[in-house]
């Protein structure tokens, strides 16, 4: 199984932020990347017959960067492109088959109460079951 903390640890290897979080951005520090469960509806995917060979984890990545909209957008697009093009990924001893970006680009969600720009990237990881 892959957990939010595993996704966070993987992101540390492919994207440079000053702070990484799961679940909650404590103190909302600049240049932070948060990993959250993606709220979805519907039933889990289940194979009929043979045992399923893969599972998924869907996450929302919140890039909480700084007071400069341009820098925040550039960092979000950099992360997006990295996830789009990365190859040969393994997370917590699971081979990653597909990294599916669920929006065509990072989503600008405006600023927080301190004027720090934020962007969101929604991602589904398909991984080998063990």
Q: Pull the structure tokens for residue 123.
A: 């991602």
DSSP category for residue 26? G
pLDDT at 24: 78
pLDDT digits (tens, 9 = 90+) for 47-80: 666 677 889 999 999 999 999 999 999 999 999 9
Tokens of residue 120, six digits: 């969101």
* Domains contained in the chain, CATH given: 4-128 (3.30.2000.30)
Cβ-contact 28, 118 below 8 angstroms: no
pLDDT of res. 83: 98
Low-confidence ranges of the chain (pLDDT < 50): none
pLDDT of res. 53: 86
pLDDT value of position 95: 97
Helix axes 4-14, 69-85, angle to 10 degrees: 100
């Amino acid at each position: 199984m892959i957990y939010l903390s595993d996704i966070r640890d993987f992101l540390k290897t492919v994207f440079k932020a000053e702070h990484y979080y799961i679940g909650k951005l404590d103190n909302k520090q600049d240049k932070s990347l948060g990993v959250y469960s993606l709220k979805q509806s519907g039933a889990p995917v289940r194979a009929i017959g043979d045992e399923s060979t893969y599972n998924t984890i869907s996450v929302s990545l919140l890039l909480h960067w700084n007071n400069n909209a341009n820098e925040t957008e550039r960092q979000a697009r950099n992360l997006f492109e990295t996830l789009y093009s990365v190859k040969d990924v393994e997370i917590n001893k699971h081979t990653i088959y597909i990294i599916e970006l669920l929006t065509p680009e990072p989503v600008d969600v405006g600023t927080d109460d301190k004027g720090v720009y934020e962007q969101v990237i929604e991602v589904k990881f398909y991984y080998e079951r063990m």
